[in-house]
Amino acid sequence: MSLAEAQNIYSQKLEEPEFKLIQDFMLNNLGVKLSPIKIVMVNSRLIKRLRASGIYNFPDYVRFALSAEGKRTGELQCMIDELTTHKTDFFREPEQYNFLMDVVMPEFSQQNNHFFKIWSAGCSSGEEPYTMAMLLNQYQLTHAGFDFSIAASDVSNGILSKAITGIYNEQTLKDVDQALVKRYFTPVPSEGNNNTFAVNKILKDKINFSIINLVDHYKFLPNYFDVIFCRNTLIYFEDQAKRDVVKKLISKIKVGGYLFVGLSETVSQYSKDIKQVSPSIYKKIV
């Protein structure tokens, strides 16, 4: 690409008709609502796709990405990767992990069941399921006979690949206790002076990663999760999509099990089958 073409890309502007096509696609296929002011954000996030796809204007790019050819070539997935928000952290909203370990696990231990199943729905780049895996592995060390598995899913192929790779830099690991870093991560050579660490196999082996769009049917998943985390994901959904997804998630939890959403989210209005037991934590009661 010549300098002139590169400069021309950065002056491209996403106009209303193409933004509307994107809004409709995101709402109808992912349940995600893009309000009118998001046009600026979408514009800036998709500029790099104009460059990567070699289609240097928005009208042609958007129509291509949304076409059957766009789906076949993977451009549609790349567009989804750019338009979904992936902010996450290890031990994000730590009070919820405290509830998991201080309330949910002792309750589980009293049941006659030793195999704990948890799902991180909307797992982004993996920090959430790997946090679960560290905590549950530690729990396993002190509870003979206990075992667990973690399902981790996201709609974005790009971010899920990052989760599966399980490589994080020092900055990303800043909130992880050094003893846990030492036990569960291995330093890997990297360029520059940023230290990089790979998640150890003992954690990876406990997690099944898959692409799942939460607004689709996921009948193939079992109905017996002890706990589902769907945090900071529903927040981007339009109300009806949120309602439908919450109902489907609840149908996948055992009676007595728990649904965790993000600390700024409330879902009690969507189902009578759950009771709020702590901020943004719900117990399935029937």
Ligand X SMILES: C[S@@+](CC[C@H](N)C(=O)[O-])C[C@H]1O[C@@H](n2cnc3c(N)ncnc32)[C@H](O)[C@@H]1O
Give me the residues that bind ligand X (CB under 6 A), please: 30-32, 84-88, 92, 122-124, 128, 154-156, 159, 213-215, 231-233, 236, 262
Q: Which of 202, 132, 124, 198 is nearest to 163 (CA)?
A: 124
Does residue 125 contact residue 163 with C-beta atoms inside 8 Å? Answer: yes
The CB-of-283 to ligand X minimum distance in angstroms stands at: 20
Q: Which residues contact 43 (CB under 8 A, 6 or more apart)?
A: 13, 14, 58
Distance CA 53, CA 65 (A): 9
Give whichever of 53 and 84 is closer to ligand X, judged by the CB atom. 84
The CB-of-248 to ligand X minimum distance in angstroms stands at: 11
The CB-of-82 to ligand X minimum distance in angstroms stands at: 10
Give whichever of 154 and 226 is closer to ligand X, judged by the CB atom. 154
Does residue 257 contact residue 284 with C-beta atoms inside 8 Å? Answer: yes
The CB-of-86 to ligand X minimum distance in angstroms stands at: 4
Secondary structure of residue 224 in the 3-state scheme: coil
Give whichever of 55 and 236 is closer to ligand X, judged by the CB atom. 236
Give whichever of 29 and 109 is closer to ligand X, judged by the CB atom. 29
Q: Which of 4, 163, 7, 186 is nearest to 86 (CA)?
A: 163
Enter the tokens of residue 50: 């104009």
Give whichever of 75 and 154 is closer to ligand X, judged by the CB atom. 154
The CB-of-77 to ligand X minimum distance in angstroms stands at: 11
Q: Which residues pair with 259 in a beta bridge?
A: 228, 282
